[in-house]
Structure 1
Amino acid sequence: MNHDTPLSPRPLRHLSDVRRRVLTTAQLRARGVTAAGASERCRPGGPWQQFLPGVFLLHPGPPTSEERLHAVLLFAARTPATAPATAIPVQPGAEEPHAPQPYADALITGLAALTLYGFTSAPSLLSLDRIDVLVPRLRRLRSQGCARIVRTASLPAPCHVTGVPVAPVPRALADAVAELTDADAARRLLTEAVRGGHCDPAAVVRELTQARLLSRPHVVDAVDSLLAEGRSVAEDRLYRMVREHGLPDPVWNVDLRLPGGPHLGGLDAYWPEQAVALELDTRVPRQDEDALWSEYARKREHLERLGITVVHVTPKKLRDAVQQQATVVRTALMAARDREPAAYVVVLPR
């Protein structure tokens, strides 16, 4: 096979080094190919093609999915990548040392990023008419061809998937949802993000809020489904934590009341003998966050005045540090032996 041979699309797991098939004007010049020489090769019937401004495919056939990704990144990169000083002109079959492809200030985002992350509800790369690429807001760059420029005040740290710099899942979701008008499609993406363990609901809602998308009715509906899914996933992880880390069984999903007195609040788990309560903190960054936190704080203070230890656990910690959270609960249960007995409370199913 040589540089003029068309390449067939391959599955994502077979993404390969495309440095010798997708090059910029600067990279070609560093290899001894002038602008006129590149234009000559891109004439009808020629061996090359210009895919995006300043970006060339060194074969005449349709671009593969990885070629499209790398072409978009090369087009959007802040400084065109140049070849080493010892580079030689392009030769069919020539080998080059393997090195990471630098894409300064450019990240794949939106649906293309979600596809790279393995979202089953995202379309295939080849079916996407446009690939979203995230760049700093002050870049003087316009969308061209299949490259759609998305701007941000602060570029997030990239995640590398199959060698491609990709925006973090919450940011990629926000950029994808911004372009969707189908409520079902948005709901599927958001639900899969949580169900698949890609991120927690709070991070997604934070990005949607910053993108000013929560005023759109179909996004609000999708977020409601996201939060319900996030709560369900967190509860499943909580059940597994108790079972797999050898914690004593609590009573689940209960309300506490003082005998003949007021309602003290609902809890996700309660160990009556040790007077230890556990509550999942599923708050999200919305406008009522301060009021909700005040409610959490008031309930916790009231319970602790009665001698009940309250453990707050977040979905993120259950996902990323479950052993640590199990240790926190176990420590609270063991410390109950050294505390004064708690006030008697009535435990009711919620």
Structure 2
Amino acid sequence: MNHDAPLSSRSPHRLTGLRRRVLTTAQLRAHGVTPADTNARCRPGGPWQQLLPGVYLLHPGPPTPEERLHAVLLYAGRCRDTGGVPAQPHADEPRPPVRYTDAVVTGLAALALHGFTSAPPLLSLERIDVLVPRLRRLRSTRCAHVLREAALPAPVQIGGFPVAPVPRALADAVAELDDAPAVRRLLTEAVRAGHCEAAAVVRELNRARLLTRPHVVDAVDSLLAEGRALAEDRLYRMVDEHGLPDPVWNVDLRLPGGPDLGGVDAYWPEHAVAVELDTRAPRQDDDDTEWSEYARKREHLERLGITVVHTTPRKLRDSLDQQATVVRTALMASTEREPAMYVVVLPR
């Protein structure tokens, strides 16, 4: 089948081969179909239907989830393709590559594409959230829910569709949800399934000004606890799998008869090396107090001769071997340093 041949030149029998196709008015016109022809074919009982303004489905049955996504992206953005027809071809035809610009799928539809089991399946969604540049004059209609943004996030390509990264998709989904258990499930799955780190989610929720909603705050507290637990598990695994000496875990340090020096996640007393896991996440009311307190604690410990290795959940997830090397190097270097001051180690 020649995709570049005008549609008007096809016989009615050949036109049936275009089922499961999504095209715009301009693309149909480029293939020789006039607006009058399109309107005639979209009449009740006709072979085509209009999904969105200027976007048509070239078969009479219900659109598939993929066809709805194509339709929303064609309506909201711009499309480039190398085959002349930016849509899903017939099952026995090769699919031409498609590139959409100025439109990014987000919200629950994006989470479904990312594989979230706690997100509704695409087939059940009444609308699809799509990000477009703020200056676009475009309205939400039918299944297309338009969200304007000054700068679109760099999309992830999933199945040929431009999809918002998980933290942004979560923020856009949570903005529309009042169901506290549903919000908690989505946020928890994001971290537990390894889609992203808790801090990245909280940053997006903070940017979207969602941290004033009580049910979101409660879910974030659970999320941060989940993120810390996973990061601690990775820290335990790093010590075990890389043959590091066993530290004492989750302890408070203090000078004999003196003030509390603060807690650390792992400590090697014979080497005076500590690991601190930074799971801080930004909040709307945050200032520099928490960071300044952390920095003062670290400087105090290092003045006492204790080496503090700072790590984050993301570093432990993405570069566990490298983090193990950093800790091993600090342990080996302890023999070349001046002896540290004696500190009391207490369980947290």
Residue 303 (structure 1) aligned to one of 283, 301, 304: 301
**Pair 1:312 & 2:296 matched:** no
Which residue, 222, 227, 230 being the options, matches 1:225? 222
Say if 1:275 and 1:336, in contact at 8 Å, map to a contact too. yes
1:215-234 CA distance string (max 9 Å, x none): 11111111111111111111
Q: Supply the distance in 2 between the matched residues of 1:289 and 1:311 (Cα, whole angstroms).
A: 24
Question: Counterparts of 1:137 and 1:221 in 2: how far apart (Å)?
Answer: 31
Q: Does 2:268 correspond to 1:261?
A: no
2:245 maps to 1:248: yes
Aligned length: 333
Give the CA deviation at 1:316: 0.9
1:266-321 residue CA offsets vs partner (Å, 9 max, x unmatched): 01000111110001001111233511111111110110011000011111111111
State how 1:32-71 maps to structure 2 within 5 Å: 32-71=32-71
Larger mean Cα displacement after TM superposition, 43-52 or 106-115: 43-52
Distance 2:92 2:41 in 1: 21
Tell me, in whole angstroms, the C-alpha distance in 2 between the residues paired with 1:94 and 1:332.
Answer: 59
**Mapping 1:84-123, distance limit 5 Å:** 98-123=95-120
Aligned partners of 2:190 and 2:90: how far apart in 1?
42
| Separation of aligned partners in 1, 2:277 and 2:81 | 51
Per the TM alignment, residue 33 of structure 1 is displaced from its structure 2 partner at its CA by 1.3
> CA 1:104–1:309 in structure 2 vs 1: closer, same or farther (change >3 Å)?
same
Q: Where does residue 338 of structure 1 map in the other structure?
A: 336
Structure 2 unaligned regions, length at least 5: 1-12
**Cα deviation code 1:68-118 (max 9, x no counterpart):** 1111111100x354776xx59x9x969876443121110110001001111
Matches within 5 A, 1:1-350: 4=16, 21-77=21-77, 79=78, 81=80, 98-286=95-283, 287-350=285-348
What are structure 1's unaligned runs of at least 5 residues?
Answer: 8-19
4+ aligned runs moved over 3 Å, structure 1: 1-7, 79-84, 92-99
Partner SS state of residue 249, structure 1: coil
Q: Deviation per CA, 1:136-188: give whole Å up to 9, x if none.
A: 11111000110000111210101011221100100000000000001111011
C-alpha distance in 1 between matches for 2:182 and 2:286: 27
The separation in 2 between residues aligned to 1:94 and 1:235, in whole angstroms, is: 48
- In 2, Cα distance between equivalents of 1:191 and 1:214: 16
% identity of equivalent residues: 75
Distance 1:291 1:117 in 2: 36
Shift of 1:201: 1.3
Paired AA for residue 39 in structure 1: N
Counterpart Cα distance in 2 of 1:81 and 1:248: 57
8 Å contact from structure 1 (residues 5, 59) kept in 2? no
Is the contact between residue 3 and residue 93 of structure 1 (CA under 8 Å) also seen in structure 2?
Answer: no
Report how far residue 28 of structure 1 moved: 1.1
Question: Residues 249-277 of structure 1: CA distance to partner in whole angstroms, max 9, x if unpaired?
Answer: 11100111111111111010001111100
Structure 2-normalised TM-score? 0.91
Q: Taking structure 1 as reference, are residues 189 and 3 closer, same or farther at Cα in structure 2, changes over 3 Å only?
A: farther
Counterpart code for 1:56: Y
